[in-house]
Structure 1
Amino acid sequence: MTVAARRLPSSVWVTGLTLGAVAAVTVLAVKAEQGPQPHATAAAKPSASASAKPSAKPSQAAEAAVPDGSGTGRRVVYSLGQKRVWLIDASDQSRRTFAVWPGSVSPDPGTYTVSKRTDALTGSDGVQIEHVVYFAAKSGVNIAFSNALDGSSPPPVSGTQTGGIRMKVADGDAVWAFGSAGTTVTVVE
């Protein structure tokens, strides 16, 4: 007599399939979290015929507006006074804006181009930085956008000339992706 094939109870099959489905969903959720995320964009410029309600916080809305006189076309705009950067696409729409922490040496207002990019290095202040996007030099100091690997934004060391314009890690990722060599950088007051 042959031994009959043993069958697993249906509850074991259901449990196994459920665990497999939960594992697959978890893996997909983790991958989605690591992928590109949607970002808020600056609001479109209102027209004379716009019938929108006034903003509850007009000072914040004014800060987010792309500065007048910052050029046209695809570019990075850096406002010295607002300590803010905008990434502007070819249709002159702001795709991202964020606050930055400038170093002790600021570029003069004007138009520059991204001249060099370095993935990671130690900044002149001794902080490990990444996504370094160089676009100007002043008084022998290179000026570049970057972010600290640890996400910090230390104030410049007193008496040390630094040209790093620091930003949060996610903003550094965005500038790195946007600011390829030759990209225009407009610096305004």
Structure 2
Amino acid sequence: MPGISAVIVAGLTAAALATVGFLGHQAAVNVPAELRRPGADAAAAVHKAPRDKDHPTALPARSGRGSRVVYSLDDDRVWLVEDGGKVKRTFGVSPSTVDPAPGTYRVTSRSAAVTGSDGVPVEHVVRFTSVDGTVIGFSAAVDGSAPELDPGERTGGIRETRADGAAMWRFATVGRKVVVIP
């Protein structure tokens, strides 16, 4: 009767897997609100890169190595970092309605001038990821305006001033590393 024992083992294994799946789902659903952030995993929300309280525009610790763009979701700030960790430029930005998850990306494409998803002409567009079909990247409005965010609209343009957009354009060529931190 080896066939019956195999069926019993298979049934017990299926029941165990279903139980583990259910418990995993329950744990994910019950994450405390302070640890949740759209597009970010709980580990990234808990392990925010340390900030220098005396120098709030200083490059956060543990924000990567080498030449890179660092984008802080919480601070709405960008750092252009050269090899050796020297900050070439830092500036504030206006976020989009869709945030990328914390992590390391690469610049995938660039456009000198296009119309943004909000209908505003933008320049120096530097794209590095997409979230559920919404392309995420840095850009500067030609008229210098900041976006008027509508939470009901899915936009991925992280707006910079025209001067900051020009600096990003010169620095962030295709393939350049982009590190997104909480």
Q: TM-score, normalised on structure 1?
A: 0.67
**Is the 1:112–1:135 contact (alpha carbons within 8 Å) kept by the matching residues of 2?**
yes
Partner of 2:180: 187
Look at both structures and tell me which one has the larger radius of gyration over its CA atoms.
1
CA RMSD in angstroms comes to 1.2
Matches within 5 A, 1:13-32: none
Does 2:95 align with 1:102? yes
Runs of 4+ in 1 over 3 A off after TM superposition: none
- Aligned equivalents of 1:170, 1:105: Cα separation in 2: 24
Does 2:73 align with 1:85? no
Q: CA deviation at 1:151?
A: 0.5
Matches within 5 A, 1:143-162: 143-162=136-155
Partner of 1:117: 110
- Aligned equivalents of 2:147, 2:156: Cα separation in 1: 13
For the residue of structure 2 that corresponds to 1:170, the secondary structure is helix
Partner of 1:142: 135
Count of residues paired in the alignment = 131
Partner of 1:168: 161
Q: CA deviation at 1:156?
A: 1.7
Q: CA deviation at 1:92?
A: 0.8
- Aligned equivalents of 1:124, 1:154: Cα separation in 2: 10
- Aligned equivalents of 1:105, 1:158: Cα separation in 2: 9
Q: CA deviation at 1:158?
A: 3.9
Amino acid at match of 1:91: G
For the residue of structure 2 that corresponds to 1:63, the secondary structure is coil
Unaligned runs of 5+ in 1: 1-57
Q: CA deviation at 1:155?
A: 1.9
Partner of 1:70: 63
**Is the 1:132–1:176 contact (alpha carbons within 8 Å) kept by the matching residues of 2?**
yes
Indicate the percent of aligned positions where both proteins have the same amino acid.
49
- Aligned equivalents of 2:118, 2:149: Cα separation in 1: 7
For the residue of structure 1 that corresponds to 2:163, the secondary structure is helix
Unaligned runs of 5+ in 2: 1-51
- Aligned equivalents of 1:123, 1:72: Cα separation in 2: 31
- Aligned equivalents of 2:179, 2:55: Cα separation in 1: 19
1:4-40: per-residue Cα shift (whole Å, max 9, x none)?
xxxxxxxxxxxxxxxxxxxxxxxxxxxxxxxxxxxxx
Amino acid at match of 1:103: S
Amino acid at match of 1:121: V
